[in-house]
Every structure is written in structure tokens, then in C-alpha cells.
Amino acid sequence: MPFEPPRSLSPSKVSSFRDCALAFRFTAIEHLPDPATVWTVKGTLVHSALEGLFWNHPQGSRSPAAAAAELDAAWTALQDDADWLSLGLGADEAEAFRADASQLVANYFKLEDPDEITPVGIELTLEARLDDVRLRGILDRLDRTADGELVVIDYKTGRAPSPAYEQARMAGVQLYALLCQEVLGRRPVRVKLLHLKEPTVITAEPTEQGLKGQRTKTLAVWRAIERACHDEDFRPKTGPLCRFCRFRDFCPAYGGDPSLAAAALGSGEGVA
């Protein structure tokens, strides 16, 4: 019986399908559980602190102390969060987790001065129809420059990619630029990845031709997803990261049976 395609695509889903169609099937089609990790929970904590810095503090008051206070508030709220509790960290591990998050927030101030930023959207959801697919994404931040132009900002708490993989990492944020053009009728002048760990900034300038290419590529991915669902043919793509994949035991490339994954892991719930 053919699989039902997802009802929408996001930049992360597009990247997931390109990275490994089988892993995409498990997460986006069958909605198998996606356990929280130290890295995902830490990313959520840091994003919450930076979100609060802009939501709760007007220009002129966005200081490192204000960001630290927002991190304290987010940390307190995190203690009752199910994802945090599922990590089961000991006291020393939790202290190291908190210290690392604090350093990431402090590093943000090495990348830009938030008092010079005019955000027009924070955690901004944009949704557009591209032919017969719904493209949906959440922007960490959308800024307006002094001359009225738009800039897309995406915070990253993991390591910055090597130069060889830099453009691949920009593909997702370029889709955010496409969403801005489709929904707001304006092409951002820049898209920026703020890597907080190093810290470093990766910047690209979307062009009309480039966004047309992104639109074409996104629709091509959607057609490939539809075919894979119809044919029940989601092929794995192996690589160095396979050893970290939680679905490896069910991957045919490693002798597994994909049809057993749902029964073994339990199907999850979520919006397709």
C-alpha cells in the first residue's frame, strides 16, 4: 500500500530527504519517535534565551547581562520540560550543559551588536504554496536594515561546517529567503548563519536567479518524495554519519528490515 505523502515541506524536511530518503520515511512519513539529545535540547535553550533578548528588551538594553537573565529564565523553565528530563543528566553533566549554553549565548555578542538590530519577526512562521506543495518554515529572526531591506538570520549551536560543506548548509536558509519572496513579495538582501560555537558567520546574498533555482530544486524534491511514496521506495544513502543514525538497525544497507521499524520503535504523532 503506497505511503501518504507529507502535507507540507520545510527546509529541514527537504534536507532530510536529500541526506537519506529512508531516514526521511521514518521521520516525516511514519513519524517514528525522535528522542531528544543533549544537542537538540541545548539548541532549544539557547534559542529561547536569544528570542527573549529581542522580545523583552528594546534597542539600547540588549546587553550581555540581559541575555544572561533570559538564559536564567529559560533554564528555570527547562527543568520541568519532558525533553530535558528524558536526558537524565547527573548534577555534574547538567552543570557542564548549563555552562556550555552560557558560553554560546555570550559568543553571540562577538558576532553582532543586538542594539543595532531592528527585527521585524522573531520565530516567524511563513507558509507558501509552490504549485501543489505547501512550503513552511520558521525563521529564527527576520531583520530590517536601515535602508529598509530584509535579512534572514538563523542561529546555529553546533559546529560550523567545513568549507566543502558550507554551501550545503546554506541551502536550508536559502529556502527561508524563497519563503520571504513568496509570502512577503520581497527578496532578502542577505541570509546569515550565526554559528555560536566558534563563533563565526556564514553569509550569502540571494539572487533572483538563485531563488528560481531553489524553487525548481524544491519542487523536484517534492516530485521525488511523491514517487517514493507511490512506489514505496525510500533508498538509504550511506555515509560516515550512519554510525550515529538511530535507524541503522532497520536499514537494508546494514542488513536491517525497514518494515520492522514502526513496530519496534512505535509510531509517533506529528504534523506531516
159 neighbors 198 (Cβ within 8 angstroms): yes
Give the whole-angstrom CA distance, residue 96 versus residue 93: 5
> Do you find a cis peptide bond into 58, omega within 30 degrees of 0?
no
| Residue 62 exposed, middle or buried by CB count within 10 Å (0-12, 13-18, 19+) | buried
237 neighbors 222 (Cβ within 8 angstroms): no
HSE, side-chain direction, 13 A CA sphere, residue 210: 18
Q: What is the mean pLDDT of residues 245-261?
A: 95
Instruction: Return contacts of 71-80, CB within 8 angstroms, 24+ apart.
Output: 71/45, 71/46, 71/101, 71/102, 71/105, 74/45, 74/48, 74/49, 75/45, 75/101, 77/48, 78/41, 78/45
What pLDDT is stored for residue 169 in this prediction?
Answer: 62
135 neighbors 217 (Cβ within 8 angstroms): no
What pLDDT is stored for residue 165 in this prediction?
Answer: 60
Q: 3-state class of 186 per DSSP?
A: coil
Tell whether the model's pLDDT for residue 96 goes beyond 80. Answer: yes
- Residue among 219, 230, 249, 218 nearest 23 (CA): 249
By percentage, how much of the chain surpasses pLDDT 90? Answer: 88
**pLDDT tens per residue, range 124-180:** 999 999 999 999 999 999 999 999 999 999 999 988 877 656 566 677 788 999 999
Name the one residue in this structure whose C-alpha cell is 550511506: 238
Give the whole-angstrom CA distance, residue 61 versus residue 114: 9
Domains and CATH numbers, the chain: 8-30+118-236+245-262 (3.90.320), 38-114 (no CATH)
Q: What are phi and psi of 267, to 5 degrees?
A: -75, 140
Q: Which three cell numbers, joined as nine digits, stand for 173?
A: 536558509
Q: Pairing mode, if any, of strands 150-156 and 119-130?
A: unpaired
Q: What is the mean pLDDT of residues 88-106?
A: 98
What pLDDT is stored for residue 173 in this prediction?
Answer: 80
What pLDDT is stored for residue 161 in this prediction?
Answer: 74
**pLDDT tens per residue, range 5-30:** 999 999 999 999 999 999 999 999 99
Q: Give strand pairing partners of 151.
A: 143, 190
Tell whether the model's pLDDT for residue 64 goes beyond 90. Answer: yes
pTM of the model as a whole:
0.90
**pLDDT confidence tier of residue 272, bands split at 50, 70 and 90:** very low
